[in-house]
Amino acid sequence: MQPEPPLLSVDGIKVHFPIFKGVLARRQVGAVKAVDGVSFSVDRGETLGLVGESGCGKSTTGLAVLRMLATTAGTIRFDGTDITRLNRAALRPFRRRIQMIYQDPFGALDPRMTVGQLIAEPMIVHNIEPGRAARDSKARDLLAMVGLRQDMADRYIHEFSGGQRQRIGIARALAMQPDLLICDEPVSALDVSIQAQIVNLFQDLQSRFGLTYLFIAHDLAVVRHISDRIAVMYLGRIVEIAGREALYDHPQHPYTQALLAAVAIPDPDIEATRPHIAVQGEVPSALNPPGGCRFHPRCPRAVDRCKTEEPVLRDTGRGGETGRGQSVACHLA
Q: How far apart are CA 26 and CA 174, in angstroms?
A: 44
Whether 61 contacts 35, CB under 8 Å: yes
- Grouping H, G, I as helix, E, B as strand and the rest as coil, residue 245 is helix
- Return the number of the residue (115 or 231) whose C-beta is nearest ligand SF4: 231
Whether the CA torsion 49, 53, 57, 60 is positive or negative: it is: positive
Out of 220, 232, 299, 313, the only residue in the binding site for ligand SF4 (CB under 6 A) is: 299
133: exposed, middle or buried (Cβ count in 10 Å: 0-12, 13-18, 19+): exposed
In what side-by-side order are the strands of the sheet with 237-243?
Answer: 98-101, 180-184, 212-217, 47-51, 229-234, 237-243, 327-328, 314-315
Binding status of residue 251 toward ligand SF4 by CB under 6 A: no
Residue 13 vs 279, nearer CB to ligand SF4: 279
Chain positions 4 to 23 lying near ligand SF4, rule: CB under 6 A, are: none
- Nearest CA among 215, 208, 124, 118 for reference residue 160: 118
CB of residue 256 to ligand SF4, shortest distance in Å: 9
CA atoms within 13 A on the CB side of 179: 13
Applying CB under 6 A, among 10, 38, 51, 306 the residue interacting with ligand SF4 is: 306
Q: Rounded to the nearest whole angstrom, what is the least distance from the CB of residue 294 to ligand SF4 in the complex? A: 8
Interacting span for ligand SF4 (CB under 6 A) from 10-18, 20-28, 119-127, 293-301 = 293-301
Which of 296, 313, 320, 327 touches ligand SF4 (CB under 6 A)?
A: 296
Task: Please pick, from the candidates 62, 122, 236, 254, the single residue that binds ligand SF4 as defined by CB under 6 A.
Answer: 254
How many C-beta atoms surround the C-beta of residue 79 within 10 A?
16
Using DSSP's 3-state secondary structure scheme, residue 143 falls into helix
CB of 135 to ligand SF4, least distance (A): 52
**CB of 300 vs ligand SF4, minimal distance in Å:** 8
- Is residue 295 near ligand SF4 by the rule CB under 6 A? yes
Spell out, one character per residue from 313 to 332, where the chain touches ligand SF4: x when CB under 6 A holds, - when not: -----------------xxx
281 neighbors 295 (Cβ within 8 angstroms): no
Minimal distance, residue 286 CB to ligand SF4, in Å = 17
C-beta closer to ligand SF4: residue 261 or 332: 332
> Cα–Cα distance between 216 and 83 in angstroms, integer?
21
Residues lying near ligand SF4 in the complex (CB under 6 A): 253-254, 293, 295-296, 299, 301-302, 306, 311, 330-332
